[in-house]
């Protein structure tokens, strides 16, 4: 539980010092394009006057997950980071190269499989190294915003590390529609933070290369819930009231038994009953149709939006 007496002090990043009550945008140089154009990572620091936690809010670890970038951008535009207490470090877009190339990766490497990084490794490993050293070394906890993969949409959900009690507490405060513990992935950002005793929440909502208004809204509201809980923002800020987050304890993917054209018959996020029709798989000539039925009672937390599927492809992620 959070029993620590938080004390945000002067934040120093790459020689820039941000004192109490100060806000600053700094740009961290990463690399150059073959044309010589310098690529930089913008980092906003909002340091309150009063003592409180220091939080990292991060988007675009995967460059094609534009929903995560848009959530943070809107909060910047709406001045949601008017911080009275504590400090918020905001990285709207970490993987600039992936974003420019409409790709999850950075020069063919997944940054989220490159931690703790290296001074002299690939670009992805160098970004991971300096990210941990210059930014993450300043924080008490963080929220890492993501989406589903290409044409796979995650319904708004918070993931946390099962053995991290503080992360679970943060997940409850965030109050996404669904929350669940997920395993640590070797060399991931969350794994490296866990090794350094820093709780990280992973928000998942929507799919890559597509904006999803419902996910954006829920991601912003959850973030404001965290900031308001720690009295970092004004009590006068009104956050839409949602039902209590549903804790998912078991999950499985429902997969295609045959190849064909796939159509969805239910909405992502819905509660479903065992035997309920979720979708159909049809052959391209209209001769066969296979019904995809719910194998148990539960909640649909992700769907595959791609209409052409092969045998074994993931169709629905169901949790109970």
| Tens digits of residue pLDDT in 122-148 | 999 999 999 999 999 999 999 999 999
User: Helix, strand, or coil here: 221?
Assistant: helix
Q: Tell me which residue of 136, 138, 141, 112 sits closest to 124, measured CA to CA.
A: 112
**What's the token pair of residue 296?**
């148990």
pLDDT, position 2 = 67
pLDDT, position 34 = 87
Q: What is the DSSP string of 164-211?
A: -HHHHHHHHHH--SEEEE-PPPTT-HHHHHHHTT--EEEEEEEETTS-
Lowest-confidence pick of 6-10, 54-58, 112-116, 143-147 = 6-10
**For residue 237, which phi and psi values (nearest 5 degrees)?**
-70, 125
pLDDT, position 33 = 83
The gap from C-alpha 279 to its chain's centroid, in whole angstroms, comes to 28
- Residue 100 confidence (pLDDT) above 80: yes
| Tens digits of residue pLDDT in 277-297 | 999 999 988 888 999 999 999
The gap from C-alpha 170 to its chain's centroid, in whole angstroms, comes to 14
pTM: 0.96
Q: How far apart are CA 277 and CA 266, in angstroms?
A: 8
pLDDT, position 163 = 96
User: Helix, strand, or coil here: 137?
Assistant: helix
- Residue 1 confidence (pLDDT) above 70: no
| Tens digits of residue pLDDT in 63-99 | 999 999 999 999 999 998 999 999 999 999 999 999 9
Instruction: List, in order of start, the domains of the chain with CATH numbers.
Output: 11-229 (3.40.630.10), 250-319 (2.40.50.100)
pLDDT, position 3 = 63
Tell me 304's DSSP state.
Answer: E
Q: Calculate mean pLDDT across residues 258-262.
A: 96
- Residue 221 confidence (pLDDT) above 90: yes
- Provide the pairing of β-strand 16-18 with 314-319: unpaired
| Tens digits of residue pLDDT in 7-45 | 888 999 989 999 999 999 999 988 888 898 888 899 999
More confident residue, 243 or 299: 299
Average pLDDT of every residue of the chain: 95
Residue 112's pLDDT band (cuts 50, 70, 90): very high
pLDDT, position 241 = 85
More confident residue, 134 or 4: 134
Q: How far apart are CA 282 and CA 290, in angstroms?
A: 6
179 in Cβ contact with 158 (< 8 Å): yes
Q: Calculate mean pLDDT across residues 36-56.
A: 93
Q: How far apart are CA 106 and CA 96, in angstroms?
A: 8
- Residue 160 confidence (pLDDT) above 70: yes
Q: Is the peptide bond before 116 cis (omega within 30 degrees of 0)?
A: yes
pLDDT, position 67 = 96
Lowest-confidence pick of 1-5, 6-10, 30-34, 315-319 = 1-5
């Amino acid at each position: 539980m959070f029993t620590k007496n938080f004390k945000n002090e002067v934040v120093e990043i790459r020689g820039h010092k941000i004192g109490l009550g100060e806000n600053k945008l700094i740009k961290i140089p990463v690399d150059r394009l073959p044309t010589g154009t310098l690529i930089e990572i913008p980092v906003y620091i909002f340091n309150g006057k009063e003592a409180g936690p220091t939080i990292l809010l991060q988007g675009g670890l995967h460059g094609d997950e534009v929903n995560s970038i848009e959530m943070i951008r809107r909060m910047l535009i709406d001045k949601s980071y008017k911080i009275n207490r504590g400090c918020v470090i905001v990285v709207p877009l970490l993987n600039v190269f992936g974003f420019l190339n409409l790709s999850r990766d950075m020069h063919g490497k997944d940054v989220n499989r490159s931690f703790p990084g290296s001074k002299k490794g690939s670009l992805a490993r160098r970004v991971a190294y300096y990210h941990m050293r210059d930014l993450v070394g300043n924080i008490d906890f963080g929220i890492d915003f993501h989406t589903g993969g290409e044409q796979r949409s995650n319904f708004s959900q918070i993931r946390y590390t099962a053995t991290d009690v503080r992360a679970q507490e943060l997940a409850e405060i965030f109050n996404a529609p669904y929350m669940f513990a997920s395993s640590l992935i070797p060399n991931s950002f969350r794994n490296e933070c866990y090794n350094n005793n820093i709780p990280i929440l992973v928000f998942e909502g929507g799919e890559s290369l597509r904006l999803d208004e419902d996910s954006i809204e829920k991601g912003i509201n959850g973030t404001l819930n965290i900031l308001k809980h720690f009295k970092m923002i004004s009590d006068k800020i009104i956050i839409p009231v949602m039902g209590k987050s549903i804790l998912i304890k078991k999950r499985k993917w429902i997969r295609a038994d045959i190849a064909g054209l796939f159509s969805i018959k239910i909405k992502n996020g819905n509660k479903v009953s065992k035997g309920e029709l979720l979708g159909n798989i049809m052959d391209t000539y209209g001769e066969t149709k296979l019904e995809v039925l719910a194998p148990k009672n539960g909640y649909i937390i992700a769907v595959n939006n791609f209409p052409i599927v092969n045998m074994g492809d993931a169709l629905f992620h169901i949790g109970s």
